[in-house]
Amino acid sequence: MLNLTLNKYQLLIIAMLAGAILPGAFAPHHLWPLAIVSPAILLWVWQKNTTSKQAFMSGLGYGLGMFGVGVSWVFVSIHHYGNTNIPLAVLITSLLVIVLALFIATQGYVLKHFFRGNTVAFCLLGFPSCWVLFEWLRSWLFTGFPWLYLGYSQLTTPLSGYAPVMSVYGVSTAVLLTSGALIVLMISSRKIKAAGSFLIILIWGIGYFLQQHNFTKPNPKLYTVRLVQGNIKPFDKFTSTDPIGSTEKTYGKLTEKEWGADLILWPESAIPLPLPYSKPYFDELEKRAFSHHSTLIAGIQVINSKEEYHNSLIALGDGHGIYHKYHLVPFGDFLPFDYWLRGLIGFFDLPMSSFTSGPTEQPLITAGDLKLVPLICYEIAFPELLRNTLRNADAIITLSEDGWFGESWGPYQHLEIAQMRALETGRMVLRATTSGITAIIDPKGTLSATIPQFEARVLSGTFHSMTGTTPWVKFGLWPLLGLLFSCFILPGRLLCCRHRIS
């Protein structure tokens, strides 16, 4: 196959098919070898492309396949919950896919432009560094969409050992080095093939060694936790004529027998009536929690003195603190160009789409003697956001409402992302969702216990606070970014100059 003579259209089709199989590497399928094979196929196509323009088109085809399959779940929100007709919902979803695909396309153009004439440098320096740098770019450009990073697919492999050292980006780098080495094995001389084989063994061997090491350790004290999954449909919370009564009927009833646990979590917007209007009910919950020496943390909405809405969570009883969601989701938590778009279609009028971002610096939530990092829904997808707020926290809590995505892959991918945050930080992650998947995640990123989707249940468990710091939390992303920039810019410029001279 590697010596086949193919035209640019055949290469484009191969690239698109390679991108379409990549989402199978992630949850719920977990076919992790696809995360190595799929990029390797694209790398082979880019090797075959003779111009930067052809690499751009191949990358675009790959991105359309990758995101067209992998994030198609946004259609559920737009059509089923946004009350948008199918053709328009398909159009909006397609526009998102095209924008995301342009990242891969631009990546191909840049890579082909800078790395010419040296297969080994192209595969082992340019390809991994360029891909991961574009993953990082996608995490913040246009507010960010950090989904389908290659590293998330490796939670159960030795490559996950890189996560506490270099975060998910380091795992992605190890995946791509493996992909590049595979192509080198197939198209290079015997001596270079031996070096490629050694590189693969080295990458996976170091990963295995790191996987065995514990950077953090549990404190002796064991805490009890109850995570309450109410299984209320997203719109039902906001259309009820008696929101407090509905909340009490669901979450209050499920919690009746759980008072006395150290920590009780209700999911995002469990109480749909905003503060201060719901204050009498919160005062009642405060008394219940305090009398049982429990901390209840619940998702709420808050209207402040400036008439600004916040998507928030609050600690009651033995706990203290309130957190306002900082990283808002475009079209979900807020509507860009609100003046022009509001009211055009149902999707632009979703409940909870007029929030104001919370302050950058907010105190940790306390629960008894515990200090907890709070994250709401989408925020768990941003490793730097968590790292910046982690400080000396004992554990991580995240409240979410994944019901907007129905039975799609979205909630499974979201949970997989939360697992990576636990592994990166060496902390327990306690995840309460409205309709699933509620989970307790240990510091190795393993699911200790879960509640399946669409069940109204309480997840009972225990957890330890953790001490110690992973290298990732201590040093952050800049060491890896510096290495990636060096691996891309310096060899790329050198090869480009040599090409021009020749």
Catalytic residue among 268, 379, 401, 416: 268
How many C-beta neighbours within 10 Å does residue 213 have? 10
Question: Which segments in the chain show pLDDT lower than 50?
Answer: 1, 337, 339-342, 344-348, 499-502
Question: In what helix (H) or strand (E) does residue 16 lie, and over which residues does it extend?
Answer: helix 8-21
Catalytic residue among 112, 237, 325, 371: 325
pTM for the whole structure: 0.93
> Which pLDDT score, from 0 to 100, does residue 342 have?
47
> Which pLDDT score, from 0 to 100, does residue 327 have?
87
> Which pLDDT score, from 0 to 100, does residue 233 have?
84
Question: In what helix (H) or strand (E) does residue 296 lie, and over which residues does it extend?
Answer: strand 295-303
Please confirm, yes or no, whether 308 is among the known catalytic residues.
no
> Which pLDDT score, from 0 to 100, does residue 347 have?
46
Kindly report the three-state secondary structure assignment for every residue of 164-232. Answer: HHHHHHHHHHHHHHHHHHHHHHHHCCHHHHHHHHHHHHHHHHHHHHHHCCCCCEEEEEEEEEEEEECCC
Name which of 116, 48, 130, 57 is nearest 494 in CA terms: 116
- Dihedral (CA of 64, 167, 297, 273) sign: negative
- 279-331 residue pLDDT tens: 999 999 999 999 999 999 999 999 987 778 899 999 999 999 999 999 888 76
Please confirm, yes or no, whether 268 is among the known catalytic residues.
yes
CA distance 502 to 495: 11
> Which pLDDT score, from 0 to 100, does residue 352 have?
53
Question: In what helix (H) or strand (E) does residue 76 lie, and over which residues does it extend?
Answer: helix 74-76
Contact assessment for residue 189 and residue 435, using Cβ atoms and an 8 Å cutoff: no
Is the bond preceding residue 437 a cis peptide, omega within 30 degrees? yes
> Which pLDDT score, from 0 to 100, does residue 65 have?
98
Domains and CATH numbers, the chain: 8-214+477-496 (no CATH), 217-468 (3.60.110.10)
Which positions ≥6 away from 213 have C-beta within 8 Å? Answer: 161
- 380-418 residue pLDDT tens: 999 999 998 897 899 999 999 988 888 899 999 999 999
> Which pLDDT score, from 0 to 100, does residue 334 have?
58
Catalytic residue among 371, 377, 379, 487: 377
Kindly report the three-state secondary structure assignment for every residue of 389-433. Answer: HHCCCCEEEEEECHHHHCCCCHHHHHHHHHHHHHHHHCCCEEEEE
Which positions ≥6 away from 354 have C-beta within 8 Å? Answer: 309, 334, 335, 338
- Tokens 């939530």 map to which residue? 365
Q: Which contacts qualify for 471-476: CB closer than 8 Å, 24 or more apart?
A: 471/164, 471/165, 471/166, 471/215, 472/163, 472/164, 472/165, 472/166, 472/167, 472/170, 472/383, 472/387, 472/424, 472/425, 473/387, 473/390, 473/424, 473/425, 473/426, 476/384, 476/387
CA distance 269 to 303: 13
